Amino acid sequence: MLNDLLTLMRSELLVTGLIFLLLVLKIGGWMNSGRMLPWIQALLLLNFIIGLIDLPEGNLFGGMYNTNDIILLEKNVLNGALFLISLLFTVRFNKTRNLPEFFILLLSSLLGMFLMISSGHLLMFYLSLELATLPLAALVGFDLDKRTSSEAAMKMLYSSAFSSVMLLFGISLMYGIAGTLNFNELSIIAQSSNPLFITAFIFLFTAFAFKLSIVPFHFWTADVYEGSPMPITAFLSVVSKGGIVFVFMSVLFKVFQNIQEVWYYLIVILAIATMLIGNIFAIRQQNMKRFLAFSSIAQVGFILAGISGNSIQGRASVIFFIIIYIFSNLAAFGVVNIISSHTGSEKMEKYKGLYRSHPGLAWVMALALFSLAGIPPTAGFFGKLFLLSAGAARGNYWFLTFAALNMVISLFYYLKVVRLMFIDKNDKPLEDINLNTPVKMGLIICVLGILLTGFISWIFNYLILVA
């Protein structure tokens, strides 16, 4: 049993080990907080590399914890994203007080997401969801000297508390109907003829909808993204969303497969609303963080289009898209971070004429935005193509036409930023920016990911094999 535990829960144990290591180092005072960052980055890289090693399938604790190849891959994707975040925001981390606490909380949230992805029982799911959310609420308020940060933390806390309440209600209803909270047993009990079950499902769904910023549960997104410190915004938009998407897919495809006529139309309607609201609100934004927040809402709408496919192909396309989305969004946040720390402002007009003064940064931002818009030859094109193609399997071509036309709207606001950078001129151009090496490495990794992922077909083929 112990042997099983040690091997199967390897990812969680590694992250827990890291947490305890940081805790000990901080409390023992053996290492100056300022010098911890390179070690943290190295350990996160090690964590990612070890995560690439295969593990056997299995489940623990009576089915509460499962693992298989695809779950392992999903967790490692999140590992990689966290490593990239630690690289890209090096400068900001060097200025952060209480850096070990920061990473302890971050890693705890990651641990919660790992347990969520592996969960096989609704109680386990709930516990790990709370573990994932609470540290984030603290992290959102980590910028103690900014009022917007505390405001964002309060908003995050209240909204997630409310969604947890709804989740608990749904879980208790389900327990009342089924007498069990185990995923496998629930999937047998799930019948569309049982209206109480459908109601319980809806409550469960709202928890996901809140974390994923699906319209109409998206209202917290823009303010929280704007107020949080930049690395947390990146983490929220990429890792948190990615993890929840992975769980969402497992839960929908495994547990609620039998009531898919119910959730298919639910997802289609919500996807339409999400894409539309995300795109329309993004057009008016002047703050880059809010802009990227609304753009991620629109991307989630697209992901829903892929999930609506309800197939192995759908699952593989979504994971593929999340990988590409991680690269693109992190590259964008990396550039926003650099510009914001040098000009002190996150406003879009600071990007005017960026190509003239800093062509490299402008190109990185442009590539990231093109990938988010779905323009070839960036990988975002392939991501969106596969998502649409998975959704097309159901034959709902009106929905897909709507989704494809939304790509046009999203191109409009992405081109706005591209236009500011390449075409407009700036009277007060930015002075020279010397990029820190880890930041440069992080940006290079992201750019390579954007350019090459689409062409390296074995990634997608492997995903289809494993999903």
Partner 1 sequence: MDLTALILLPLFTALAILIVRQSTPVRWIALTGSVAQLLLAVLLLLFYNRERELGNTAQMMYETKYAWFASLNINFHTGVDGIAVAMILLTSFVVVAGVLVSWNNKKYTAEYFFLLILLSLGAYGFFISLDLILLFFFLEVAVIPKFLLIGIWGSGNKEASANKLALMLMGASALILIGILGMYYYGGNSFDILTLSQTSIPVTAQKIFFPLLFLGFGVFTAIFPFHTWVPDGHSSAPTAGSMFLAGISMKLGGYGCIRVAAYLMPEGAKEYAAVIIILATIAIIYGAFATLMQTDLKYMNAYSSISHCGFVLLGIGMLTTTALTGAVMQMVSHGLMTALFFAVIGMIYERSGTRNVNEMSGLQKQMPFIITVLYIAGLCSLGLPGLSGFVAEMMVFMGSWQQQGILHRVATVLAAMSIVVTSVYILKAVTRISMGPLKAGLESVRDAQWNEKLAAIILIVGILAIGLAPAWLNDLVRPGAEILMNHIQGK
The site for partner 1 (CB under 8 A) is made up of 313, 316, 370, 375-377, 381, 385-386, 388-389, 392-393, 395, 397, 400-401, 404-405, 407-408, 411-412, 415, 418-419, 422-423, 457, 460-461, 464
Give whichever of 125 and 386 is closer to partner 1, judged by the CB atom.
386
Neighbours of 3 (CB within 10 A): 7
Decide if 374 contacts 321 (C-beta within 8 A): no
Q: How far apart are CA 451 and CA 368, in angstroms?
A: 10
Show the tokens assigned to 154: 């309060």
Closer Cβ to partner 1, 44 or 361, answer by number? 361
Encoded tokens for 93:
């981390």
State which residue, 63 or 360, has the beta carbon closest to partner 1: 360
Please say which residue, 128 or 313, places its beta carbon nearer to partner 1.
313
Beta bridge partners of 287: 347
Inter-residue contact 208 to 129 (CB < 8 Å): no
Provide, rounded to whole angstroms, the least separation between the CB of residue 308 and partner 1: 14
Burial group, residue 196, by CB count within 10 angstroms (0-12, 13-18, 19+): exposed
Least distance to partner 1 from the beta carbon of 367, Å?
Answer: 10
Following DSSP, what letter does each residue of 315-377 receive, concatenated? HHHHHHHHHHHHHHHHHHHHHHHHHHHHHS--BGGGGTTHHHH-HHHHHHHHHHHHHHHT-TT
How wide is the angle at C-alpha 398 spanned by C-alphas 396 and 403, nearest 5°?
Answer: 100
Query: Are 450 and 331 within 8 A, CB to CB?
Result: yes
**Residue 389 C-beta: closest distance to partner 1, Å:** 6
Are 152 and 228 contacting, i.e. CB atoms less than 8 angstroms apart? yes
Comparison of 20 and 455: residue with beta carbon closer to partner 1:
455
H helices of 358-436, in order, are 359-373, 379-392, 397-422
Q: Are 110 and 103 in contact (CB under 8 A)?
A: no
Least distance CB 37 / partner 1 (angstroms): 34
Compare residues 260 and 311 and give the one whose CB is closer to partner 1.
Answer: 311
Indicate the residue among 142 and 381 with the shorter CB distance to partner 1: 381
Q: Which helix (H) or strand (E) holds 216?
A: none
- Smallest separation, CB 459 to partner 1 (Å): 10
* Nearest one of 391, 378, 353 to 450, comparing CA atoms: 378
Q: How far is the CB of 315 from partner 1 (least distance, A)?
A: 12
Closest separation in Å from C-beta 337 to partner 1: 24
From the CB of 375, what's the least distance to partner 1, in Å? 6
Closest separation in Å from C-beta 423 to partner 1: 5
Choice between 248 and 382, CB closer to partner 1 = 382
Whichever of 33 and 389 has its CB closer to partner 1, that residue is 389
